[in-house]
Structure 1
């Protein structure tokens, strides 16, 4: 049980550091560009709020001058021809936004808590197993002593 805090903190820090490397790699590889909506999102303007996100076809010109098209998540109140910001990867194709540092922080906390629970569970399971072994040994010793004492105590050996 003494190692529980150290194990939990170490595992949480390792998970956070690993996830932060992913965040930095994704931020380095992806960037935002401006694209135009090729169509009005389903449930288009007037039928949905700006806070709602919808999937819609977008088109953009890549850094190499080539035309690209794809389906991206856009504000629900946008209309065809509206400029929207989308994320692209190193190949110029649509990509998901990079993972946020808060996700890395959450992953670190979750891993630390899970490690703490696992270490505590292992400690309690180990304690229960040791107690079971000691109880078995003690009951066997009591049985052996009773076999010696019981005949004289109950009077069975007086015949």
Structure 2
């Protein structure tokens, strides 16, 4: 059994998608970010940076894992699914691109443009341009490939989809 500490955000959705795909039994521990649940001391023991998602794997000595990419790798290795050894380098690159560019740029764009319009014209323009570039790269790549990292669906696709859907 896995406890999934999450919220209704793109990062939170990644792990529930993975858990559904691999068929592992899990319970969602809903985190109310607007009430600061992520800053409670007991959660910081699981996720030191006070970020969702995080998991506790009761079948593995109550191992806790934080950061969505690390959780996806952990679950992929544990299940033997969506992380093919022969495509590991490609999968890792696209997974890191999601975590280092796709998610942060789109997230910042939404923060400044959608939720705080007028707060910073420079930031709105910067993240609009970066988000546009993200979509151009993804469109170009996926126009030639069915999946991000090879011939098969992988954790790179699982990580990216909630951000662009």
TM-score, normalisation: structure 1: 0.24
TM-score (norm 2): 0.23
Decide which structure has greater helix share.
2
* Larger radius of gyration between Structure 1 and Structure 2: 1
Q: Which has the larger share of strand?
A: 1
RCO higher in structure (CA 8 A, sep ≥6): 1
